[in-house]
Structure 1
Amino acid sequence: MPVTSPRSVAAPQHSPVPSAAGVWFVVVWLALLITTGWFEALRFVAAAATPAGPMLAFTEWDPESTLPFVCLAVLPLLLTVRRRSRSRHPTPDSRRRAASTVLSATTPPTTEENSSAAQKTEREPQPASRVVVAVCSVMIFLTSLLCSWRIGATEVALLAVPGIQHRTLPFAKLPPEFHDEYSYLLQARIFLSGQLSCPPMTFRPDLFHQVHVLNERRTVSRYFPLTAAWMAPFKAFGRPVFGHRIAGALAAVFFFLSFRRIVSTTRYLNRTRFPTALLGGMLIAASPGIAAFSNLLLAHHPTMLALSIFTWAFLKTKDSAVFRNSLTAGCFLTLAMLGRPMTAAGYALPWGIWLLRWMIVHRNLKPVAGYAVPLVAGFVLLGILNHDATGSWTRSTYQEYTDRYTPRHKYGFNNALPSEKTALADETDVMNSYDRWAENLTPQTAVRNVGHRVLGSLQWSLSIFPILFGTLMTVPPLVSSFRNSGDLPGKHAPETTVPDRNPAPRCIAVPGLWLCLSSIVCLHVVHIPYWFDGILHWHYVFETAPLLLLLTAAGLGYAWRILTTRLPEKTAALWVCVLPLVGLLPGWVSCEPFGGRSKVDAFISERAWARTRLHYFNE
């Protein structure tokens, strides 16, 4: 009886593609083909009603549906060409397979042959070396920086104003647009001065209120401290936007490393595991929405970086239950809560529930302590900041500002009832107008906002139909996780001889795809009771973007595995890569068929309107 090496660890078994997966692939492909085809038909009908006739539809494309429809429609042609090529020109490999099939049908296999076949079937791909992982991480990091730089370096034309020479400026060198950005910049300067807050400004204090700065007992940003603390060193060098770009690039790398651990335990991916993880990282790095927000001095990118490291450390914790891993995860979850508390809570809720179940099954409190200690320290730090700014240990600057100056912007339903629309005492018309801007939140408004946020996240993360295809293709792996004992907490996968350096889990496999999906749902749910759908209709659920792209990559990797049963591997890989690529093109490439302007160029144009006028004011 063979003895298992003491360095053996659990590894997922090689699993053939189930027949139901092929059926599901056809269902998803057909549903999206019909949907995109319907939108294309409507476009042709609308073009036929114009003087130019139906030919107009060939020159004016829909950026969301036209190229995905073409990509989906090409797939049957590839399968047909492949089938005919096989029948007319059988390859030596196909002849050998046919001969071996006939031979195996007439000759009973020996025990050694059975053993050899089993070894081939169960053979796992070798894990990528550290050098390969490092090179891919650097590639993802640089891609993210390049995409962010491309937006910031876009030249914006300044209007011809008397006394001002006509010229252009890079988008990143224009003044910030949102009042939140000025609030963070002021707090960063306060931190650089070595203070938590500064004495109140008595000259025109209302001007500070207009940029979301609490200027009563002390002068301090209304927002939580992580963003200003992250910006402070970059502000000291005069380029605070660099901090957000670096945060986005680092987040893409850590999500790639996290996803690599997730797909290593996902059944039916096999040889596509590392390419799938790399695809997920590259999609995050090249996402037009993520790159666009990296040029805004908002809280999203520092928070996203903290959440990405939390995810990576959490997945390392479940592999070995080492205290330092759980402590790292707890520290960065605490930082995320000091950036965007509601977002961090919604993101981490499913992971916390899973951790609680793990603790009950294993009766191990060590990882829980690793999370509890940083969280308690974070609340203590927040209490100190609250006391310094408001005089209360429990009342935050955000709550103080909202209650005093923007009561209709509060969290919850019926936030702005008509009977409550009275002017704020001792405030300017600007603040009263801003407060009255809030719309009363009703269930109907909440449903509309959720629809806007879902649509906006799909459009800006990548594109609607490539994300739908990828996420729908994750259904079989998600369903299989319930049937596979190795994917459930407390269960052990069949043991194979794999070195300890293998990134695959040692004993249990976190249902990573389920946790990503659950975090997306929770982030939408926790923001339902807020009246505003967000900047670009999605910024409140901005942190769903990397998770959506990871699910998309997982589904595309699974589709690749299915297609390799009918197509050559390179052809299948090409089709799978082209589908997200046609989603990225309208986001980055300005051309006439897409109206002459890409998504990021439209973003720059919209944001530049206010920025250029602030630039004129500063001059």
Structure 2
Amino acid sequence: MDSHQPTSAELPPDREQNRPGHSIWIPLMHFLIVLVLFCFLGYFEWQRIQTDQSELPVLTRFFLYVNVDTTPYFLLLLLSPFCWWIRPAFQFRLFTRVLRPRLSQEWVRNRQSEKQIDVFALLLSLLVAVTSFAMSFWTASHTVNPDLHLTLGDLPPAYHDEYSYLFQSRTFLEGRTWHPGHADAPELFDQVHVLNEGKMASRYFPGTGLWLAPFVAWGHPYRAYWLAGALTTFFIFWSGRELAGNGVGLLAGLIVALSPGMAIFSNLLLAHHPTLVGLSAFLFFFLRMQRTRSFRDALLAGVGLAFGMLCRPMTAAGFALPFGIWLGVEIIRWCRTRVNHKATDSATEKSVVPQITGLAIPLACGLIGLFFYNQSITDSGWKMPYQLYTDIYTPRHVYGFDNVVRGEQKLGPKVLENYDKWAENLTPALAAQNVQNRLLASLQWTLGLVPLLLAGLLFLITECRRWSRWWLIYASIISLHVVHIPYWYDGIMHWHYVFETGPLWALIFARVTQTLFGIWRDLERPLMSWLWSAMILIAVATNLTAIPPLWTVSKLEIVINNVAFSKLKHFQFQQMIHHHPQIKQPALILVAHDPSDRHIDYVINDPQLNTSVLTGRYRPEQHTPAQLQSLFPDRTLYLFDVAQNRLSRWNGRFWEPV
């Protein structure tokens, strides 16, 4: 009898979970979950209807102040007993005989074993990619200013970071990594998130600028992000398919494509979408590598991870950490096998060496490239522009606990005082609050608070009895949160630091859906599957549409209006400086920023500092208007006071209103 125990490297790919028989524990578990949900949602619903208009009937108040995060799911929960006990005898032959087999895991494994092209899967992956692209376009087409007929896509970027990435991409298009600062008054052109220490360069890592550059040259930078969203959903589909079949891949891909958070971030020029392209590709090819053990899949996984690292290193590390641990365990097992059995044949060696080599090559190339990129900007390959910028301009924003206390010990003359003081001192209590905010926001903006909380709980219940690769997905969510604990800010929309957990949550939800549908099918409870499907549709409806009088605005519309506020501010400023009839070009517009608004900064220039209108910081203690006029004799000087919304021109003696 062979005593050899198969390692995880030799185990077959995950099969569908063994479905339970007719056990008393299944109905009991359903009852307990429904009871817990009823108490949880009922508490919030009771609090909601305790309004000042107590003279109205309770039922009226219930439907008058609908909470889209809880009320629809509470109503569905009330239907669950009927869906459990009523068992209609009907079938849809098209679904049961044609579609369901093609959505199953067995279909995928048969195609893989027979090395056949799955045309059905290819069409589904294109479907989710097109859906994502269309969703990004639809979001951009939302009207945000009816008077001027402006849509979200008509407006300039909203955040400092976006302008820094544009600065980076334009620098790359010049064939450079940095541009020289102004020779006589460099501090005049200090731009948020742009180093200006003789060399002007974005503080950020080069991956995002590289992704943006061709689209900036084309004149359509946002298309880069629409494409990134489509590619992400494409790879998430194939990741779900690799794990559990076409059905899981389709549902996960559609959740990502229709996510309001993904839709709004596909119209923000931040690093997250390019990062997701790399990480979703890494996820798919790593999962495929676990099955094929091939060098090619390992190499492609390494390329994806390396690109994600060049966009957001901390995020890439957190995302990949569980997969790295898995690979480390495989290496240890392989080494122990070689020692115990004194294996020397090349076949044994190939079981792990191709994976290590394939992953290592692109990661090493990425690190070497990053070393030389750092060297070109900071004069040290070990010193990142991000770190140097933090040290000089925003020391209180440093990573780690007690950031304000530590930062105030390193304050220098170039600190952006107003922006730097935005930082809160990170304590364990604040860190715990940030984790809670990030978790709840990631659930809310991916699909919905209740559906994903329920999916997370049910995943633990249904998967706890066995090891599967799904635990790597769950662990990746946890590690992404953990690596960002030592940062004081919870993020844009309370979640952008863990934005990349969204597709992972979509995969978890799709897996739970597959498991529940299998259980209900075996127990002959078809209406339960319909009820769960209704929950998905309601989540999508509340995210993307408004149904008055139940709810008058969608979640997507809320966040579009929030983002549009900053975009409209930048639009109005740019319209003024480029089209104001009293501004003579070439011009230098000095900006006196509003100290009460640290998040909108109008000093934004092209890297060459040679456009017809330049913007600079109004710092009279460093350079008087007369001195600036002598430094820029060919430009007319203007002063824009943001707080007063007042434009003035320097007439040689004083500022006169325009």
Both proteins in one fold, TM over 0.5: yes
Of 373, 383, 393, 2:381 maps to: 393
What percent identity do the matched residue pairs reach? Answer: 37
1:601 and 2:606 equivalent?
no
Q: Residues 455 and 594 (structure 1 numbering): CA distance in 2 closer, same or farther, change over 3 Å?
A: farther
CA contact (8 A) 2:542 2:555 kept: yes
Q: 1:580 offset after TM fit, Å?
A: 1.8
Paired position in structure 1 for 2:73: 68
Task: Answer yes or no: is the 8 Å Cα contact 1:28–1:469 preserved in 2.
Answer: no
Q: Which letter maps to 2:511?
A: A
Per-residue CA deviations over 1:155-207 (Å, capped at 9, x if unaligned) read 1116xxxxxxx412110120111010000001111111111222223465446
Q: Which amino acid aligns with 1:138?
A: L
- Structure 1 vs Structure 2 CA RMSD: 2.5
Residue among 423, 434, 445 paired with 2:419: 434
Which residue of structure 2 aligns with residue 42 of structure 1? 47
* SS of residue matched to 1:16: coil
Matching of residue 81 in structure 1 with residue 62 in structure 2: no
Any idea what SS the aligned residue of 1:311 has? Answer: helix
What is the aligned partner in structure 1 of residue 316 from structure 2?
344
Residues 208 and 146 of structure 1: CA distance in aligned 2, closer, same or farther (over 3 Å): farther
Q: Is the CA contact 1:390–1:397 (under 8 Å) kept in the aligned structure 2?
A: yes
2:431 paired with 1:446: yes
Residues 157 and 14 of structure 1, relative CA distance in 2, 3 Å threshold = closer
CA-CA distance at 1:9 after TM superposition: 7.4
Per-residue deviation, 1:296: 0.4
Larger RCO: 1 or 2 (CA < 8 Å, sep 6+)? 1
Kept in 1, the 8 Å contact 2:236–2:253? The answer is yes
Identify the residue that residue 290 of structure 1 maps to in structure 2: 262
Q: Contact 1:446/1:528 (CA < 8 Å) preserved in 2? A: yes
In the other structure, the counterpart of 2:292 is 320
Q: Which amino acid aligns with 2:501?
A: T
The question of 1:29 aligning with 2:34 is answered: yes
Q: Structure 2 counterpart of 1:540, which letter?
A: Y
Establish whether residue 59 from structure 1 lines up as the match of residue 44 from structure 2. Answer: no
Q: Secondary structure at the match of 2:413?
A: coil
Cross-structure match for 1:539: 496
Kept in 2, the 8 Å contact 1:314–1:325? The answer is yes
In 2, distance between residues paired with 1:304 and 1:390?
27
Which residue of the partner structure matches residue 162 of structure 2? 181
Aligned partner (choices 8, 11, 15) of residue 18 of structure 2? 15
The Cα shift of 1:246 comes to 0.8
State the shift of 1:318 in Å. Answer: 1.0
Aligned with residue 370 of structure 1, among 358, 376, 392: 358
User: Taking structure 1 as reference, are residues 50 and 346 closer, same or farther at Cα in structure 2, changes over 3 Å only?
Assistant: farther
1:404 and 1:78, CA in 2 relative to 1: closer, same or farther beyond 3 A?
Answer: same
- The one-letter code matched in structure 1 to 2:75 is V
Aligned length: 528
| Residue number in structure 2 paired with 1:112 | none
* Gap regions ≥5 residues in structure 2: 1-10, 92-103, 112-116, 336-351, 576-658
| Structure 1 residue 320 displacement after superposition | 1.6
Matched, 1:333 2:305: yes
**What is the alpha-carbon distance in structure 2 between the residues aligned to residue 290 and residue 243 of structure 1?**
14
User: What amino acid maps onto 2:242 in structure 1?
Assistant: R
**145, 151, 155: which is aligned to 1:157?**
145
Unaligned runs of 5+ in 1: 1-7, 93-122, 159-165, 264-272, 483-510
Alignment partner, residue 443 of structure 2: 458
Q: Who is 1:245 aligned against?
A: 226
Alignment of 1:80-119 (within 5 A): 80-82=85-87
Q: Give the distance between the partners of 1:148 and 1:438, measured in 2 at CA.
A: 32
SS of the aligned residue for 1:62 comes to coil
Q: Note if contact 1:199-1:219 (Cα within 8 Å) is conserved in structure 2.
A: yes
The one-letter code of the counterpart of 1:16 is: R
Cα separation, 2, equivalents of 1:362 and 1:407:
46
Q: Give 1:33 deviation, angstroms.
A: 2.6
Q: Does 1:277 find its partner at 2:249?
A: yes
What CA distance in whole angstroms lies between the structure 1 residues aligned with 2:44 and 2:14?
45
Matches within 5 A, 1:140-219: 140-157=128-145, 166-202=147-183, 205-206=186-187, 208-219=189-200
Cα deviations by residue, 1:203-251 (Å, 9 ceiling, x for unpaired): 6544654321111131110000111100111111111111111101111
Q: Is 2:573 the partner of 1:611?
A: no
Indicate the structure with greater helix content. Answer: 1
In structure 2, relative to structure 1, the CA distance for the partners of 1:350 and 1:424 (3 Å cut) is: same
TM-score under structure 1 length normalisation: 0.81
**Contact preservation (8 Å) 2:252, 2:510:** yes
1:40–1:176 CA distance, 2 compared to 1 (3 A): same
Structure 2 CA distance for partners of 1:70 and 1:54, relative to 1, 3 Å? closer
Structure 1 residue 594: deviation in Å? 5.2
Q: Offset at 1:574?
A: 2.4
Superposed, 1:408-557 pairs within 5 Å as 408-417=396-405, 420=408, 424-426=412-414, 431-482=416-467, 511-557=468-514
Report the 3-state secondary structure (helix = DSSP H, G, I; strand = E; otherwise coil) of the residue aligned with 2:316: helix
Secondary structure, counterpart of 2:144 in structure 1 = strand
